[in-house]
């Protein structure tokens, strides 16, 4: 099973590029940019990665981002992640970035997006990995800041396919960003949002209704409302679930309690993703393995996570067909 998972072609739909900042690169960039960080060693950083909730993670996540200054830094960060994708056989990835985390520090929007985009372009030709870029608004900041960010994104429509919503869910309801999302939709962006990670099932419903999103990031709390689960299954609304993240942030105590397999078997379009892998202890293969180790699953069920992700991805029908064919061939070959 381990070999099957390792070689399985994968599609990632929920990945924060700032959350791939490994301690080694953090130190390298801190030295390069002459930034002081509050850690003496890699071990110090890893010790700091023992979070007890979403906020304790966010505090250190924003601190880590301080080492990202130049376009080359954003290129290096993204390229390091893409090499991990290659290693995990991720064939397509849809990456989140948080411009406000950087523009609030005086880094220009262009610097951020151009550095990331340069790495993504290089990955197509050199690693055979395709990608899409999704810009997230930080929900703990105000609506005005989100509008400013959307304005900055308009000249990069050729690079950014969608807008999303992340950061602290509690106390920052979807309704706060209803007007921004409406404007983004009018500008031709696709839309996604984090919901139902910390917040209740109603938070997911609000995101769907008020923000008109096509994909829910996390969404695991939908299980609190069985009728809603049935509705999500019926409508094939995708949930981009992040198993290791959910354990690390205490959404579930143990992987055996995680509801992803139950949701899969109920016909919900659930996918496996790594969220902030440098902080949560694992990239794509690690997340697949963790779910497989804790739940007795068939190879067809495990492959279904990839089929769901292809379905839920923001790629052309032709490209979906190509990826489906690759995965069907893989499953046929290893199904016994």
Q: How many CB atoms lie within 10 A of CB 24?
A: 12
Name the one residue in this structure whose structure tokens are 């924003």: 62
Q: Could you tell me the sign of the dihedral formed by the alpha carbons of 150, 97, 289, 63, in that order?
A: negative
Candidate list 144, 197, 198, 253, residue with the active-site label: 197
Cβ(34)–Cβ(114) below 8 Å: no
Cβ(145)–Cβ(177) below 8 Å: no
Question: Any catalytic annotation for residue 253?
Answer: no
Rounded distance between C-alpha atoms, residue 9 and residue 20, angstroms: 20
How far are the Cα atoms of 133, 142, 178, 210, 288 from residue 139, in angstroms, in the given order? Answer: 19, 7, 12, 15, 29
CA dihedral 259, 265, 271, 276 (to 10 degrees): 20
Question: How do beta strands 190-195 and 90-97 pair?
Answer: unpaired
Nearest residue to 16 via CA among 54, 51, 61, 48: 61
Catalytic annotation, residues: 197
């Amino acid at each position: 099973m381990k070999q099957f998972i390792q070689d399985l072609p994968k599609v990632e739909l929920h990945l924060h590029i700032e959350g791939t900042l490994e301690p080694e690169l953090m130190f390298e960039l801190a030295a390069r940019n002459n930034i002081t960080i509050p850690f003496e060693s890699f071990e110090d950083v890893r010790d700091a990665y023992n979070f007890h909730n979403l906020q304790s993670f966010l505090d250190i996540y924003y601190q880590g981002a301080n080492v990202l200054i130049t376009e080359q830094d954003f290129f290096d960060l993204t390229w390091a992640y893409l090499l991990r994708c290659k290693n995990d056989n991720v064939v397509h990835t849809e990456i989140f970035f948080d411009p406000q985390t950087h523009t609030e520090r005086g880094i220009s929007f262009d610097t951020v997006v151009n550095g990331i985009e340069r790495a993504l372009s290089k990955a197509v030709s050199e690693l055979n990995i395709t990608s899409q870029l999704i810009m997230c608004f930080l929900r703990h900041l105000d609506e005005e800041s989100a509008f400013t960010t959307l304005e900055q994104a308009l000249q990069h429509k050729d690079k950014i396919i969608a807008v999303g919503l992340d950061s602290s869910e509690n106390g920052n309801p979807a309704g706060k960003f209803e007007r921004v999302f409406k404007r983004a939709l009018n500008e031709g962006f696709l839309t996604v949002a984090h919901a139902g990670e910390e917040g209740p099932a109603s938070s997911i419903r609000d995101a769907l209704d008020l923000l008109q999103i096509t994909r829910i990031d996390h969404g695991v709390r939908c299980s609190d409302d069985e009728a809603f689960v049935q509705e999500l299954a019926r409508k094939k609304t995708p949930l981009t679930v992040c198993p290791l993240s959910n354990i690390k942030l205490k959404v579930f105590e143990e992987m055996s309690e995680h509801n992803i397999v139950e949701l899969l078997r109920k016909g919900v379009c659930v996918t496996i993703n790594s969220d902030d892998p440098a902080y949560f202890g694992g990239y794509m293969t690690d997340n697949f393995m963790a779910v497989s180790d804790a739940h007795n699953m068939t190879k067809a069920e495990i492959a279904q996570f990839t089929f769901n992700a292809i379905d839920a991805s923001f790629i052309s029908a032709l490209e979906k067909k190509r990826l489906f064919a690759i995965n069907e061939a893989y499953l046929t070959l290893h199904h016994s």
